[in-house]
Structure formats: structure tokens, C-alpha cells
Chains A and B, each alone.
Chain A
Amino acid sequence: MNLKSVIWIVFACLLGSCLSEEPFKKSFQTFVPQELNDGWELSSPEDQSMDRQLLEKAYELVFSEDRYVMARSLLVFRNGKLVAEAYPNDPEDAHKIANIQSCTKSITSLLVGLAIEKGLLDNLEIKFYDLFPDLFDDHQEKRQISLKDALSMQAGLEFDNDKHTLQLYQGKNNSIQWILSKDLIHDPGTYMNYNDGAPHLVSKAIETLTMQPTASFAEKYLFEPLGIKDWIWESSHDGVTYGAFSLFLKPRDLGKIGQLVIQNGTWDNRPIIDPEYLAEATSTQAISGHNNRPYGYYFWIYPEWNAFAALGHGGQFVLMVPDKNLVVVFTAWPYTHPQLWGDEKELMDLIIQSCK
């Protein structure tokens, strides 16, 4: 073997073994939904009085523009039927559970409505101190924090997601005691501070009221009736289901959650969530100091669309528009570069406008 041959072999190896730089997204082909026998009835834009061209424009936007580069799924449901779906990165994403991040909070909120429906809870004014007094420190004012305060992110405790969320995940001790040990920097019910600590307190309250882990309660009374079979919900080291994050669902199952909400908490004509609670949870309870957006009980309110939404880190988005009987699910890979974040407006505008 001469030197020339060796050089050619090395050169061929170099060329042949480079990892392909796959595009994040495939080119847009179709949004026609596939039959998966998961309980969703399939339909078309025309049959549900939607403008196909506007809907196509929305999908093309997601598939073609870099600002939606992290998109993993976009699903549109109208009148209780799946009208359109596409998975820009990988069609297999239809079958995969993924972290819905802070959309988890909205499901925690629904479980409070479920507890009310089951007669396990009378009202939201109940104080956490009445539910788990042993976990409180000597600070008297913290005993005034109510379930309603925590549901509207107005518990008043100094919980900063940037530094405390990972600690909540890492903590080996009692997670509730740790959250309650944070300083009370605002009177309960007076100031909205979006955080991951308050929903964890709500999860503990659900656990106490239902005498089972929040995830088990959700499985029996929420996921099973909706036909949600594949899911994972993580808990802290002391076994309290995270109320704020770490629920993993499939995109279509996330759509079922949205559909349940716009059906006023009923599924197959069976009441699941208390409708009065749901009306309260999806109406303004506080205003975010960060973006001045109205907030309900773990639902963001969009008055401009007469809608509300569950939002999650990295671009997870479940938009619910009751007067158009519309649910939109958008999920994404987690990445929050400013250019790729907060771009839901143009996309959602197109989908809402497509409803005749």
C-alpha cells in the first residue's frame, strides 16, 4: 500500500464519518391527523368551519421560520375534534411523552376543582395551617396563607425560581417545611409572585385532602376518565408530587386537558371538575408584575382573544378559546433564547382567525 492509497483511505474516512447536521424541522407536508385510537375523533378544517388556507399559513410559519425552530408539535382541536396536527421535528413525537414544564401548574389547579367536585374541599379560603400545622414555623402571619393565595401566586413567600426551583428538586428534607421557611415578604393575597413553590404547597394540600399522592389522585379521577394512559409525574424526595412542573404527557393528551376545560369540566357528559371553580380559575385573580398579564388559578388570561392558556418553560402552550370551541397545543424543545421565545402571538392570531 503506497502513501497515496493511505491518504485516500484517510480522506474517505473523514468524509464518510461526519455527523449529519440534520435540520430541526422537516419540510411541511400536511396537517391531516392520523388515527391513533386514543379517543380523539378526527375531522377537517372545512367540517369544523375553519379557513384551511389560514391554518396552512400557521403551520407553514412554524415549519419555515427560525423563531419556531424548537417546535415539536402543533395541534388544533375544534368542537371537540382533532382538526390538524403536525410534528415538525419527528413524527414519532406524537407517541412520546414530554415534559410539559409549567403547564403542570394548570393541571394542579384542575385537581383542586376536582377535589371540590368530589366534595373533599368546600372553599378556597382554607388555610394551609389548618391542613398541615406541623410543617409551619413560629411565624404567625404565615398561618394566614390560604389555598386561594397560593393558587393566585399571592402567598407572599420569598420564592425565587431562578435560585429555589433546583433547590426544591434537590432537597432531601421536608419540601413543604422548606418552602414555608422562606421569608414572608408580602402580606398573603396582596402581591403576585409567579413561582414554583406555591403550587407545591397546593399539591400538598390536595394530598392531605384526598389522603393520597396528588399523582395518584390525578390518575384515578382525571387521567383515567380522559383516557390518558402514558404519563409520568415526578415528586420531591419526601414524596410530594411537584405541583409546579415535571408532568410528562403526550401532545394529544395535553389537548384533552384543554378540551376538558372548555367543556366546563365535563367529559363524556360526566362532571369531572367543578364548573364554578373552573370559571374562577380561568378569570382574573391577579395581575403579573412581570408582564402585566392577568392570571387566574394557574391559567394565564388573554383578554385580547377572550381566551386563557397553560404556559410552560421553553414554549409549551395550551390555548383555550371557549367562545370558538378551540384548543391549540404547541410543544417545543426547551430553549429560551430571546429570538425563539414569546412568539406565540402571530401564530395563535392566525389559528384563531381561521375559525369562522
Chain B
Amino acid sequence: MTNQNVLYSSKSLLSKNLTRKRILIWTFFLWIQLLFFPKQVHCQDFMAIQKTKKIQFLTGYIQQKELNLMPKVHQGFQYAVEYQADRELNHLSRFQARLGFSPLTTSWETSGFSANLQIQGGYFHLFPILKNQSWKVWAGPFGNLKYNTSFYPNWDESHLFWANQLQTGVSSRIEYFLQTKPRSLFWDFNLPVIGLLSRPNIERNYKIDDFSFGGIVKAMHFQPQFIGLINNFQVHTRIGYNFPIGKKNQAHFGYQFDHIQVSTNYSNQFIQSSHQIFFGINL
């Protein structure tokens, strides 16, 4: 049943998938294990607090399939800006915020373009696993709130489609320091494990029918559903190179790959994959 319009439906459509609950329980225990594992190998060498703030610009190629609309790939260039604040003591705390925009098209799009907008904020709490002259390895949990919304104005069902989620999972960061410090190579890897996902209801003529601010906000959080690794496979990873610019400042560049593949029991699958290069500087 929708929370907006009255919907009459047959009873057979309202059955629930019980196996999904088992998957959620399994992924929850996995997450707990991964959360506490780093503490067992906790590194004892304390050091002074290191704070860094970074801004990054990303651009690349994004592809997505919104199977509520049609089984066709929309693709185009992606542009994003990201802010990152790190606080490193005996563990690494990281706050990250991102705003991204992508004009997308298909070969069937005869004029104009569709668009994808991403707004997200996340917090990472990583524990040290290994620290020496050459290596720093961190791992731990993270939480992330992501609004991932697309608009397809050229299509008949040209309404907003979204895959918004609040998620938590495991993250790791590996940094290898080159001999000529402070140059280093790094690899970040994030694997969301469980979360809440909101998708548009496919069984509605208009996916969003109230375009007031309140109506859009309500629709963007429509029927949040618990998701686990099976119906929410996501990988976010980046590799990069840190190097000094001038005497005080640092910069970095690299490659980032994001892939999400999500669905709910009231909505078809959404797949999004993007390859980006980034360049950033410490503020």
C-alpha cells in the first residue's frame, strides 16, 4: 500500500520474502565480527593528533540502469566535489561529504539529457592494524547517508527515480610511504554491509506526485527497507598518490571506482557504475 494514494491490490502481491531476513541476520553478525577484529591487533604506539582537511575534484564516466524505467544503460560524464576531514591519533576518524552531478543519455534519448544527482555524507572510524616506517594499514566501520536521485525528462515516466540509503559497513585504508617522504601511495576500500534503502514504488503511475519540498522529502524516504549484501551489493574503492606541493601543502590524485546494485521488494533493480579520476589538495 502506498502512504499517499489509496491503492487497491490483490492479496497475492503482498507476500514477504522471509529468506531476506536470514540474510540480514547473517550480514549483521559478519559486520560485528569485522568491527571488533581490528581491536584485537590494536597498535599501541600513540602519537600526536594529526588533522587534515582536503578538497577533491572528481570527474569520470558513469553508467546506470534504472530497471523501473527500462532495461537500458544511461551513461555520461560525472562531475563531483568532495570534502574530507581526517583526525588521526590512535585511530583514524574521517568525515567525508560529496556532491556529484552527471548528465546522462542513451541512444534512444532524442533530445536533451537525463541527469543523476548524488549528495552524501559519511563517517569512518578506522583502527590501526599495522604501522611501521613504510606501511599504515587501517580498518573499521563506517556509516554513510547517500541521496542518489535521477531524473529522466525525455521518457514518458519522466519522474524522479531514486536509490537513497543509509548504510554501514567495513572500510580499510592502506598507505605505503615511498622513500622520499611525504610521498605515499594509498588504497581505500569500502564495502557497505547493511543499511536502509528507499526506492520509488514501481506500482504507481507517478513515482512522485507531490512536488512541494515536503512531498519530495517524503517520497525520497518512501518505505525504507533493510538491505544486506545480497540485495545491496556495493563497492567503493580508490587508489591514489600523495605528494607535496610547496613546502607545507600536500596534493593527491588517483582513480576511484564505485559500483552499486540495489533493489527492494517493491521496486526493480538499480545499477550504477562509475570510474573517476580525482585530484585534491590539503586545505
Contacts and interface: CB of A to CB of B under 8 A. Distances in A.
Given A13-B257, A166-B206, A24 B71 contact: yes
Given A213-B8, A231-B10, A239-B6, A17 B210 contact: no
B108 A337 contact: yes
Interface stretch (B41-49, B62-70, B122-130): B62-70
B9 A232 contact: yes
A248 interface: yes
B155 A231 contact: no
A350 to B, nearest CB: 25
A232 B203 contact: yes
Contacts of A234: 2, 5-8, 204-205
Contacts of B18: none
A20 to B, nearest CB: 8
A241 B153 CA distance: 27
Contact of A19 (B6, B13, B110, B273): B273
Interface residues of A, number: 46
Interface string A212-225: 01011001000000
Interface string B190-206: 00000000000001111
B107 to A, nearest CB: 9
Contact of B10 (A99, A232, A235, A336): A232
Nearest to A171: B209
B72 interface: yes
- Does more than half of chain A's interface fall in helix, strand or loop, or is it mixed? loop
A235 B6 contact: yes
Contact of A99 (B72, B205, B255, B257): B205
Contacts of B273: 17-19
B12 interface: yes
A17 B235 CA distance: 11
B215 to A, nearest CB: 8
B155 A334 contact: yes
Given A10-B255, A19-B64, A233 B108 contact: no
B257 A236 contact: no
Contacts of B8: 213, 215-216, 219, 232-235, 241
B4 interface: yes
A36 to B, nearest CB: 14
A204 to B, nearest CB: 14
A213 B5 CA distance: 14
A334 B205 CA distance: 11
A260 to B, nearest CB: 18
B87 interface: no
A128 B177 CA distance: 81
B179 to A, nearest CB: 15
A232 B5 CA distance: 12
B230 interface: no
Contacts of B75: 19
B73 interface: yes
A335 B5 contact: no
Interface in B1-30: 2, 4-10, 12-13
29 contacts: A13-B275, A18-B63, A19-B75, A21-B73, A22-B71, A24-B70, A69-B108, A169-B205, A170-B206, A213-B8, A219-B8, A230-B13, A231-B9, A232-B8, A233-B7, A234-B7, A234-B8, A235-B7, A235-B8, A236-B5, A236-B6, A237-B6, A241-B8, A242-B205, A246-B204, A333-B70, A334-B156, A335-B70, A337-B108
Given A19-B64, A22-B73, 6 more contacts: A20-B73, A70-B70, A230-B12, A234-B8, A314-B156, A334-B157
